[in-house]
Amino acid sequence: MEQDTRKSTGVRRRTFLDTLLRGWVLAGVAGMAYPVAKYLTPPHAPEAAEKEVEAAAADQVKPGEAVKFEFHGTPALLMNVKTGFVAVSAVCTHLGCIVDWDAGKSQVVCPCHNAIFDYNGNIVSGPAPLPLERFEVDVRDNKVMVRRKG
């Protein structure tokens, strides 16, 4: 027969030790599961996406011309038009092809399905459902700096 070790507290030794052991195991498992769960969830990187990018040297892009550059991992287009430097995302909003600069018409053209945008990224014609994302542009010390609007 098991001895009743409750005494004054009303808790038996076995129950106490059982609870202690289970709590210890649970704490151990949780202590491993928590960092792993956090690790598996990838972090957002808003700071990185806010950072300015140097698109090109200002004298490298002559009036009426355009260059492509990389904006946080995606292609983008920097144009020198009559209003100055304009930068837009070069990923077509239709099916994600990379758009080209048509210097003759001062338009942005997608080679895949002929979606056409003006140099501000607004839709002119074709299948694109949305305008191209337009970035903010600053010229400092002959460097064209581009950042996301916000």
Question: Do the strands 134-140 and 143-147 form a parallel or antiparallel pair, or are they unpaired?
Answer: antiparallel
Shortest spacing between CB 26 and another protein, in angstroms? 6
Give me the half-sphere count of Cα atoms (radius 13 Å) on the Cβ side of residue 106: 11
CB 144 within 8 A of CB 61: yes
**CB of 62 closer than 8 Å to CB of 46:** no
Nearest distance, CB of residue 48 and another protein, angstroms: 9
Least gap, CB of 12 to another protein (angstroms): 7
Please say which residue, 37 or 95, places its beta carbon nearer to another protein. Answer: 37
Give me the DSSP letters along 67-131.
EEEEETTEEEEEEEETTEEEEEE-B-TTT-PBPEEETTTTEEE-TTT--EEETTS-EEESS-SSP
Binding to another protein (CB under 8 A): which residues in 13-72? 14-15, 18, 21-22, 25-26, 35-36, 38-43, 45
Residue 136 amino acid letter: E
Sole window of 8-16, 59-67, 118-126, 132-140 interacting with another protein (rule: CB under 8 A): 8-16
What is the nearest approach in angstroms of another protein to the Cβ of residue 67?
22
Residue 40 vs 62, nearer CB to another protein = 40
The number of residues that bind another protein (CB under 8 A) is 19
Binding site for another protein (CB under 8 A): 2, 4, 12, 14-15, 18, 21-22, 25-26, 35-36, 38-43, 45
